[in-house]
Structure 1
C-alpha cells in the first residue's frame, strides 16, 4: 500500500454499513418473505459484496507497477558521466542537472523518455512519478485516495472490477430498496406508514443513490 492510505478505511466502512443495513431492514422485513424466490436476494447481494471487497483489497494491497530506483552504482555512474560532460563544457561553471529526456527507438518507433530526479532513472513510456507514493509507476493512471494506492499496470484490472462491481452493488441495493418500499406500502396501506416502520432505509438509500452516479462517472 501507499504510505498515505487516504480514506480506504472509510470506503470499507461505507460499503459494510450499507450492506449491513440492507440485510437488517430490507431483506428481513419483506423481500425474502413476500417475493417469489426472495431468498436468492441476500445470497446474490452477499456474493456481490464479497467479490467487491476482494477487488477493493486486491487493488489496495497490490503493487501498482513500481519501477525500482537506480542503485548507488548506477547513480554514481550517471554522476561521473555528467561531470565529464560538464568538464568538457568551457562556457559554464555551474552544475548541470541530468538531461530531462532521452531519445530512443523501440521497434522502429522513436520514443522520448523523461528523467526522474527522485528515482534517478529514465522512465519508460506512460510511466509517471506519484507524489503521494513517491515512486515511479509503470502505466500510471492516477492515485486513488479511495483505495489508498496508485492505479497502474499491475492492479488496473482489479480497480476496474472494483468500480464495476460497486456500481452493480449500488444498483442492486437501490433497486430492491425501492421494491421494498412498494411492497411495504401495499401491506401497511400507505407510503408514510411504510416509512415509519422501516426508518433504517433512509441513510443507505441516499448513499446508494448518490454513489451510483459518482461511481458510474
Structure 2
C-alpha cells in the first residue's frame, strides 16, 4: 500500500471504536402499524388495489363460468399482493447485530477488513449501507421505498420482489 492509501485508511478508522453499540431504532417512527397507517403511500396502495378491484369484480356485466374462474384467480393474486405488501411493510430490513459490531471493533485485523461508517460510528458488514431516511445501517440495503414506507434490505427483499410480481400480474390479469 502506498502512503495515500494508508492515510485514507487511518482517517477512516475511529480513534476509539464504539463498544457500547445497541441497534438503532428506526427513525421513521417506530417500525409499527402506526408508521404504515399514517403514511399516505399506504392508503395510495390500498386505493390502487380498490381501483383495479371494483371494475373487474363489481361492475363487470358478464357472469359466465370462465368469468368465475377468472375472478377466483384474480382474488388469489390480490390476496397474495396484499399479503406480500404487508410483509414488506412490517418486516424489519435488518441491521448490524450488536455482537458482530463488538467483535469487529475489538479486533484490529477484522476492523481493517471492514468499512467504518462515519454517520453511525459503526463498522459495516459487506454490502450494508447507511440509510439516511431510517438513520441506521441496513444489511444489504437496496433502497428506501416510499411505497412500502420501509427500507428494502436483507430480510424483506423477497417480500418486496413478490409484491412487485403480484402487482404486475393482478394489474395485467
TM-score (structure 1 length as normaliser): 0.54
Bigger Rg over Cα: 1
Map 1:178-189; keep pairs closer than 5 Å.
Answer: none
In the TM superposition, 1:1-217 aligns within 5 A as 2-3=28-29, 5=36, 7-26=41-60, 29-30=61-62, 32-33=63-64, 36-68=65-97, 102-104=111-113, 113-172=114-173
1:159 is displaced (CA, Å) by 0.5
Gaps of 5+ in 1: 82-101, 105-112, 173-217
CA contact (8 A) 1:69 1:121 kept: no
User: Would the alpha carbon gap of residues 129 and 116 (structure 1) be closer, same or farther in structure 2, given more than 3 Å must change?
Assistant: same
Per the TM alignment, residue 21 of structure 1 is displaced from its structure 2 partner at its CA by 2.9
Q: CA RMSD in A?
A: 2.4
Q: Structure 2 vs 1, CA of residues 69 and 135 (structure 1 numbering), >3 Å: closer, same or farther? A: farther
| TM-score, normalised with respect to structure 2 | 0.67
For the residue of structure 2 that corresponds to 1:103, the secondary structure is helix
Asked if the contact 2:96–2:125 (Cα under 8 Å) also holds between the matched residues in 1, the reply is: no
Residues of 2 paired with 1:118 and 1:12: CA distance?
35
Unaligned segments of structure 2, at least 5 residues: 1-25, 30-34
SS at the partner of 1:154? coil
- Indicate if the aligned counterparts of 2:91 and 2:155 stay in contact, CA closer than 8 A: yes
Task: Supply the distance in 1 between the matched residues of 2:69 and 2:172 (Cα, whole angstroms).
Answer: 16
The aligned residue for residue 20 of structure 2 is none
Q: Which runs of 4+ in 1 moved over 6 A?
A: none
Number of the residue aligned with 1:207: none
Q: In structure 1, the residue corresponding to 2:112 is in which secondary structure? A: strand
SS in 2 for 1:64: coil
1:131 to 1:69, Cα distance in 2 relative to 1, 3 A: farther
Is the Cα–Cα contact under 8 Å of residues 140 and 153 in structure 1 kept in the other structure?
A: yes
Matched positions, count: 131
